[in-house]
Every structure is written in C-alpha cells, then in structure tokens.
A and B are shown apart, each in its own frame.
Chain A
C-alpha cells in the first residue's frame, strides 16, 4: 500500500491510498482523480497518462522502458521527470509519492 499525492495542474491536491501492484495511473483512475485520461487502459498505447514525478521520487520510480520512452516523446510538455503513469508499479517503497499532472493529456 502506498499513499500517493496527485496534484492537478491548477494545484488541487488529491491524497489517496493505492494498493501495491496497481499502477500509479490506476490509482488515479480508480479514485476518479481528474487529469489522467489513460485512454488505452494501461497498454502503453496512447500517452494520455503522462505525469511529472516529484524530483525527490524520480530515482525510486525506476527507469522508462524503450516503448514508454518512444510514446512519451510524442506527449506535450515532456520533461526529464516525465513518466507514463501506467508504467509505474506501486510498491510499499513508493509510500509518499508525489506526482503532478500536465494541463492536458491530449
């Protein structure tokens, strides 16, 4: 279980508990948190679950896969701390994770 803080583009914070084994994307979608669209349901096929991982957590969330890297390349406003949240698996080690959503996913 991990407590994850999702911050919308306008600053609105949502703090939720997410079960280990779900993706960071699923944590948002299942809690109806706006700002992550996840059109393909986590198949790494749409790049609409883009998030910015808080600097303090970047190393703990792991590396982007080659497929993720390719897909991210076509999202908007991509930074070094950008990830596709469907590719980040939640573990106890991510308890306290903070992610920010971009203004739009399309």
Chain B
C-alpha cells in the first residue's frame, strides 16, 4: 500500500454514520480538512453512542439526543452533508463512485468505509416471530425497552457482553431473566474461566437464571414468541427474546468491489485498504495489531475511535497516531469490567485481589510480560495493565499478586 499525500480539498465520502464514521467526519474538520464531506448512514438519526443502549437507554436514562456524538446542527455548521436513512448499494472504484439506495450516486476522491457490523441472526424456525429482537440500534433498544418490565420474562440468547448487560438491565427493570448460552461458560470468547465464574455468580445473586451448554433450535409462538426451544426438547417460556450471539462485518460492499476482505475489510496501520483512495474503520475493518504481531477485527468503541484518527491523520497529512493498547469495557450492575489487551498466547495468569470482594483483576502473561488484563472495579490494575501491555516491561509475578504493593510500584 503506497504512501500517498492526500489532497486537503477534494471530496471525502464516509459510508456509515456510526461511532467510527461520525468521529472520522468530526476529526477531519478538527484537523483542518477543507473539502466537502458527505456522511451517509442507514439509520434515521445522527451518529450516537451504542454502549448505553443495553444500559441507560433501557432504564429510561438516555435517548437519541443525549447519546448523539454531536448535535444534529453540528454537521451543517461544519459543512458535513449528513444523509440519514440511506445505504450504499454499490461501490465502483474504477470511476470512484458509490450508488446509494435512493438511486443517487456520489463521486468521491477519498472513501471511508465505516459500515460496521450487523447482529447475527439464528437461522432457526420462529426467528422472525415478533418479540425476537436484537440489540444493535436505538430502534432495537426502544423496542426492547417496551418489552421488559415487572411480570415479564426475558430470554437472552447468548452469554456475551450484550446478553449480560441486557440481563442486568432487565433485572433492574423488574423482569425475570433467563440467559441461554451455547458454551459451558459465559463470555467464553472474550474472558477467562475465572471471570466467567465470577460473572455467573454475580448475576445469579441478582436473580438471573442460566442454562449453559445448551443449543437453541427454535422459537415458539403464534403471532408472538412465547418460548425458546432447546435441543434437549425443553422449552423455556418467555415474553420476549434478545439474541446476542455476535456480529458479522458489513464488508460485502467492499468484497463485491474487489477490495481485500477477511471477515472484515483488510487495512494497514493508516486504516487504508488495498485501494489507496479507500479507507475502512471500526467494526468492519480487519486491522494489524503490532503488539501482537497479528491482524484481527475488533468490535469496540476505542477501536472505532483509534481507526477514525488513523484515517483522518492519513488524509490530512498528519503523523500517524501512536499505537494504542486495545481496550474495552462492560458495565453490569455495579460492576465495571475493564479489559485491556488480548490473551492470544498467554501461558499463565495472576489473580490480583479477591474475587469475593468484587474488586480484583486477572492478568494474562506470556512469560513475565503482561498480554492482557481483565479488571473488575479495579482501575489502577486496568490503567497500569495497559501501559505494561504496550511497553512489554517484565513484571515480578509475586509482586503483581500482592495487593499491598501498589500497581505503580509493580510497574516501576
């Protein structure tokens, strides 16, 4: 991929008005980009934060306005042509045009793909029954909020972040909640067994029921879902269902246009694709992570922000931002889970603090280098862990496990 000094005028088209797309538009202006910017989004509202959809939104503490990254007026005021309710249907790289779902065509000099990911649907009978919901958009959240309350039973398919956050919010709203998980433990893809056990215990203490290691084979009901059928034959009665089993990158536009994809649009450290005029950022991008010497796709707000920065810097000729340690967070009840790094080839763990206290961290090490840390209500472990992951400083495992020694001392 060639190093190109891009024009500071010329038309930038951003496909996707989520967290990555919205941030890229704002950063381009902040960095002094003077050319026209068009921001295309399929949702009817301006870019907003998704994390609160499973928490504050469901509890009535947030709405589209309070979650908007910028107020609607921001876009016109900053000469950003925001086009809501429209999708890109075809990308023609040879003449640098995009065909939109309303029949119009956009020409670009630079294109940023920020089309995100869509919730994976289970291809099983009853999946399109009313009451079987996903949680990806504000519209989904509004629908879910209406379905949850005292006297209602909510079945959550998937024991990942979405599932567990919805479970916590459901309980806060007085609903009965049952979580159905395919693996033998929760958060199987993203957390260690120690953490899985901790979360299960905490949720059970708050009255959430779990069916682990089960297979969902269908949804039952006439005109509305009334139960979830498991492979065992058991039917779990419910009034509503949330399916949170992962997301699939919306990379079809790119692959159809001949861009390199690998379950996500392949990009370099400037978020540039195999076409120097096209960038890809956020949930849709398959990107390099130098500290792990591998490529992968991350679904997190920090990733969307970092990649928006990478693209905006590359387009405006600014130096590439320094590489960050990937991180994410999840809020359930009064637990703040903060995760830094990925334990790809960790060969050992150190638990710091007592899980029973609700305040502890699990460090994943490769030899004596921290690769990842999962911290529960333990900001120093999280913040210091991020630094240790980035600078790869060896740590003394005994000191790391000793809560009487501060994290700053451990990392010194």
Q: Which residues of A contact B (CB under 8 A)?
A: 22, 26, 29-30, 32, 34, 39-41, 43-47, 67, 70-71, 73-74
Query: Does the CB pair B71–A71 fall under 8 Å?
Result: no
In the complex, which residues of chain B have a beta carbon less than 8 angstroms from the beta carbon of A45?
329, 336, 338
Flag the segment in B170-178, B198-206, B219-227, B375-383 that touches A: B375-383
A40 to B78, CA, bound (A): 24
Size band of the B side of the interface? 20 to 34
Given contact pairs A30-B71, A32-B26, A39-B301, A44 touches B336 in the complex (Cβ within 8 A) = yes
A45 to B69, CA, bound (A): 17
Query: Does the CB pair A74–B384 fall under 8 Å?
Result: yes
Given contact pairs A30-B70, A32-B74, A41 touches B301 in the complex (Cβ within 8 A) = yes
Given contact pairs A32-B74, A40-B301, A73 touches B380 in the complex (Cβ within 8 A) = yes
Q: Which residues of B contact A (CB under 8 A)?
A: 26, 30, 49, 51-52, 66, 68-71, 74, 78, 301-302, 305, 329, 331, 336, 338, 377-380, 383-384
A selection of 18 A-B contacts at a CB cut-off of 8 Å is A26-B66, A30-B68, A30-B70, A30-B71, A32-B70, A39-B301, A40-B301, A41-B52, A45-B338, A46-B302, A47-B383, A67-B336, A67-B377, A70-B378, A70-B380, A71-B379, A73-B383, A74-B384
In the complex, which residues of chain A have a beta carbon less than 8 angstroms from the beta carbon of B336?
43-45, 67
In the complex, which residues of chain B have a beta carbon less than 8 angstroms from the beta carbon of A71?
379, 383
Query: Does the CB pair B380–A74 fall under 8 Å?
Result: yes
Query: Does the CB pair A74–B379 fall under 8 Å?
Result: yes
A26 to B331, CA, bound (A): 20
A74 to B30, CA, bound (A): 27
A44 to B382, CA, bound (A): 12
Smallest distance from the beta carbon of A32 to chain B beta carbons, Å?
Answer: 6
A41 to B300, CA, bound (A): 12
Q: Would you list the 8 A-B pairs with minimal beta carbon distance, nearest first?
A: A74-B383, A70-B379, A45-B329, A41-B49, A71-B379, A30-B71, A39-B305, A70-B380
In the complex, which residues of chain A have a beta carbon less than 8 angstroms from the beta carbon of B52?
41
Smallest distance from the beta carbon of B324 to chain A beta carbons, Å?
Answer: 8
